[in-house]
Amino acid sequence: MPSALILIADGTEEIEFVTPYDVLTRAGFTIRSAGVHLKQKTYASCAHHTKITPDHHALSSVLTRAFPTSDILILPGGSLGASTFASDPQVQDAIRQYRSEGKWVATICAATVALVKSGGDKVKVTGYPTIKGEVEGQGWEFVSGEGGEKVVVDGKVVTSRGPGTAMEFSLAIVEALLGRAKRDEVAKAMLVDS
């Protein structure tokens, strides 16, 4: 079964962290979470004041161990958390490494800015509407969702719009790595309309 590394920082949007963590676990993924610059060291104080304790309190402690076995790197949004991801050299290096090794990267909401900042091949992406100018300013194609797109998959990059699309985002990751049948099985068990 595939494995995932999901990052968390102070200001991360709770639903964008918890939903993929939960859905991917239900699908059989092995999940590791790692904190990035946590003020309290042992937990992230999220966007709406929920405290979440990651599996690893520092990204540096997990990168060398998780990267060889992780199939996807997931960055949840929340403007403060996304800003941390975009400015952290280790996160930027991890994004570049996953992409250069042909592994998956998934971002949601404002975290798409961290993906864009990392450079590399430009693909179609989406995210929170307020980041459109920044994304397009870097020469990336931003899918605004006016056609109903909640999730964009381009190559081995999965992006999504925001908190209200966290379930679709998570199921898209399951489908990308395990196929449509597994996605449908997980969705049905959670009473999610397909």
- The answer as to whether 165 is a domain residue is yes
Quote the distance between the C-alpha of residue 10 and its chain's center: 15
CATH number of the domain that 93 lies in?
A: 3.40.50.880
Determine the structural domain holding residue 109 and report its residue range: 3-189
pLDDT at 65: 66
Residue 80: which of 126, 125, 34, 111 has the closest Cα?
111
- Residue-wise pLDDT for 59-74, tens only, equals 777 776 655 679 999 9
Q: Is 141 helix (H, G, I), strand (E, B) or coil?
A: strand
- 109 catalytic, yes or no? yes
pLDDT at 64: 64
pLDDT at 7: 97
Q: At what angle do helices 166-178 and 14-26 cross, to 10 degrees?
A: 30
Question: pTM of the entire structure?
Answer: 0.96
- Residue-wise pLDDT for 143-185, tens only, equals 998 888 999 999 999 999 999 999 999 999 999 999 999 999 9
Rg (CA), the chain: 15
Rounded to an integer, the average pLDDT of 52-58 is 91
Phi, then psi, of 54 in degrees rounded to 5: -75, 165
- Residue-wise pLDDT for 3-29, tens only, equals 999 999 999 999 999 999 999 999 999
- The answer as to whether 29 is a domain residue is yes
State the catalytic residue, choosing from 59, 74, 109, 143.
Answer: 109
- The answer as to whether 194 is a domain residue is no
